Every structure is written in C-alpha cells, then in structure tokens.
Chain A
C-alpha cells in the first residue's frame, strides 16, 4: 500500500506492506536511524517520535496510521548545524551515558516543554514516565530538562 507523510518538513511517499510499523518505515525505508528500537513492546520509549505534534511510540504505530500526517524525529531537532536547546541541555548536563534511549528522551522532552514551558517536578516525572533509561538513574536527565526549560527549550523553532 502507498503511504505518504511529511517527516521533519520533507514529504516522503513509499509503497509498503500494511504490517510495517512506523519505526521500521523511518529506519528501514528512509534510513532515518536516529529513532531507536529498544524493547519493541511499547514499554521503553526509545522509539518516541512526534506524530501530528503528539509523542507516540513508533514501534506501536503502523506506518499507515501516520499516512498524510506530520512526523518529527530526532533528526529534525538540530537546525542549521545548531543543536536544539533540549539536545544542548542533555549534552551540557550529561543527561545520558550509552545514549541508546536518548532520542526518545529528547522527543518526550520536546513534547513536555511544548505543553509545559515551565514544568514542575511532577510535570517532568509524568512527561518522561514513558521513557526508560538503564544507565543514568535519571538524575542528570532531570537536570537536563530543567536546564532546557530555563534556556527556553519550549519555544518552538520553526515546526
């Protein structure tokens, strides 16, 4: 079947099997391998992308569900060689160790700060509750999110 969607501002159309998941569409059809597959069972959130402005677990969404939609992945965050404020904050605060879960955390944080530009501690905990990190113990991720909020990471940058 044919699916067509706008990803990070660029239109893509492909012929795919109906059973292809959005994460496989991004990684295998389009070589957008920034989005990771972790648990592959809707638990860990490594595959988080924004679909029509809302975070989703792309391992649990069929590609056809994004048909005629708008998708934003980690590749769409940096603009003109400049890291997105959320990426910069994760880097500055060492909000990762192995980095495997990081694309998902970045996208959940972008979503969180779009909804809550000045998040409370509870907003942060709820906002990233669908993402799992097995390295950091989360403390530096919290620091990074607070730093990103302070740096105005919630201000949208052209999307």
Chain B
C-alpha cells in the first residue's frame, strides 16, 4: 500500500522543523519514528501533503540523568529500555521494553508516542504516575508542560500548531520508592486491552506514604484512580488494602465491549493488573529486583 503522495522536507534542526511546519501549515505533519503515522497514512486515515522529517536532526536521541531523568524526544523505546535511567526507574523499563514488538520498539519514539496521544498508548499512564514534564519547542519558544496538562483528549494534546516535543523529564524517585506498569495484550503487535501504572513512595517496608495510580486504555485518556491513591496514603499495605485498590480500579474503569474482550472481562483484567502492579511496586520499594512487563493473554 502506498500513502498519498507528499512532499518531503528533511529538517536539520528543531528550529528549522518548526519554521518549515509554520510555513506549510495544516497540510504538513512532523515525522518521528512513524510507527503510528505510517500505518495511518498507508490506510489513508491520514493524508498529509508534506512531511517534515525529524529523524536526521542530531542530538535528539538521548537518555541522561542529572537530578532528573531526561529523554530526548526522538529516543526510541528500545533505547529507553536499555538505558541506565530505566534501570533506576523500573516503571519506565516495564513500559519501554513491552511496547508493541522489537521491530516497533527499534523505530518508535517516546516523543512521537505522547504527541500522538493514542488512548491505547503506553507512555501516558507511566509518565502521569511518575509526574513527568514535557518540554516543547514552538514558534513562541520553549515550554515545560506538566504531563497532566499535556494530553487533553484522545489524539489531542496541548501542542500548538508547529510546536513539537523535544524532551521528557522524569523526576528521580526517592529512597523506598517503587513502581510498575503492566499492560495486558492478546499478543505483541496489537493494542492493549487494559493497562495500569502504579508509583509508590513508602515510609517503610509496609506503610505507604504516597501513591499514584493511573489506568490506561480504558478511557479517552489515562484515568487517575484517586480512590485507589486515597486507599493507600499513609496506610499499611495489607491484602485488604490491595483488594480496596483493585475494587477502586474496577469501579472507575468504563470499558467498552469490542474485539479485544467484553466490558466485564476488561474490568476484571484491570483489577487483576492493579493487584499485580501494586504488589510489584511494593516489592521494588523494598529493594527487590522484579522483572515485569506487558502480559499476553
């Protein structure tokens, strides 16, 4: 399948990419890794007349930490999975190492993923749970946008015309912190049926100081599960507490029945993922090394 014909523009810097897109207007799109955009273009669901290619801009792919963890917008998921930062913040590795399949992880970028704002995207719940900031650059200069203010709706972000994501900044979790992200998928290349991100700060081995819980996939944007967070604040994490969190997640989920499963199946799955993610986060906060990533069922 061929996409509609388009004119190609290779940007050599972000400012050049921005001025190109400003000149070309609504008929132009930025191309990052292309793992969402190219299938959409081939299916003619998207048919831009111009593509501004970000792939050849030097210095846009990096993982580094200096007080916070920073990822260049063009950093591929596989590079993030292999980074020292993802070892330090395991919830990032859970996500990066599980997105789609190896081939897609080698091309797809974190910046492209969040700018696309697909409701089934993996990064949003993880970046919300870790309190990330999205750095953008546009015709009016640079901005830092709290990820909670970045994704506005399905496929809709706070990005202005010709503005692009340049960096994602994730605060380094303190001592006795742990997190986990788990998505449930039928197989690697498909969209997830449900996903959950949990990030905890613990007082000690048993008592939770602070928690962030976000449900992915089952809404137009990732959904904060406030009732689950409140159930954890200042509380000892007992099987009963875990059950409360599980129930809170199931209560807030508003899944639709579709080819990925019935609404009831997805609600039950979200609850089960919440339990597993919470247990994994607690073990990690205690210093255990726990391998976790997307599950297939």
Smallest CB separation, A89 vs chain B (Å): 19
Candidates A17, A20, A24, A57; contact of B103 at CB < 8 Å? A57
Closest to B291 in A: A122
Tell me, in angstroms, the Cα distance from A62 to B4 when the chains sit together.
13
Candidates A19, A54, A67; contact of B4 at CB < 8 Å? A19
Q: Which of B86-135 contact A (CB under 8 A)?
A: 100-104, 106-107
A108 touches B51 (CB 8 A): no
Interface size of B in residues (CB-CB distance below 8 Å): 33
B102 touches A42 (CB 8 A): no
A60 touches B5 (CB 8 A): no
B42 touches A41 (CB 8 A): yes
Tell me, in angstroms, the Cα distance from A24 to B188 when the chains sit together.
25
Of B32-40, B193-201, B235-243, B250-258, the one touching chain A: B32-40
- Size category of the A interface is 20 to 34
Contacts of A55 in B (CB 8 A): 102-103, 106
Smallest CB separation, B160 vs chain A (Å): 26
A64 touches B102 (CB 8 A): no
Chain A interface mostly: mixed
B42 touches A40 (CB 8 A): yes
A18 touches B106 (CB 8 A): no
B53 touches A64 (CB 8 A): yes
Mask: chain A, 26-40; 1 = CB below 8 Å from B; 0 = not: 000000000000001
Contacts of B10 in A (CB 8 A): 64
A65 touches B55 (CB 8 A): yes
Tell me, in angstroms, the Cα distance from A19 to B39 when the chains sit together.
12
Smallest CB separation, B190 vs chain A (Å): 8
A61 touches B34 (CB 8 A): yes
A1 touches B8 (CB 8 A): yes
The reply on B139 being an interface residue by CB < 8 A is: no
Mask: chain A, 48-81; 1 = CB below 8 Å from B; 0 = not: 1001001111011110110100000000000000
Contacts of A56 in B (CB 8 A): 103, 106-107
The reply on B78 being an interface residue by CB < 8 A is: yes
A60 touches B53 (CB 8 A): no
B34 touches A130 (CB 8 A): no
The reply on A10 being an interface residue by CB < 8 A is: no
Closest to A122 in B: B291
Smallest CB separation, B282 vs chain A (Å): 23
Contacts of B100 in A (CB 8 A): 130
B189 touches A43 (CB 8 A): yes
Contacts of B297 in A (CB 8 A): none
Closest 9 pairs (CB-CB, A-B): A130-B101, A129-B188, A18-B8, A54-B106, A57-B103, A130-B103, A129-B101, A43-B189, A60-B38
* 13 A/B residue pairs, CB under 8 Å, sorted by A: A18-B5, A19-B3, A19-B6, A41-B39, A56-B106, A60-B38, A60-B104, A61-B34, A62-B38, A108-B102, A111-B102, A126-B102, A129-B187
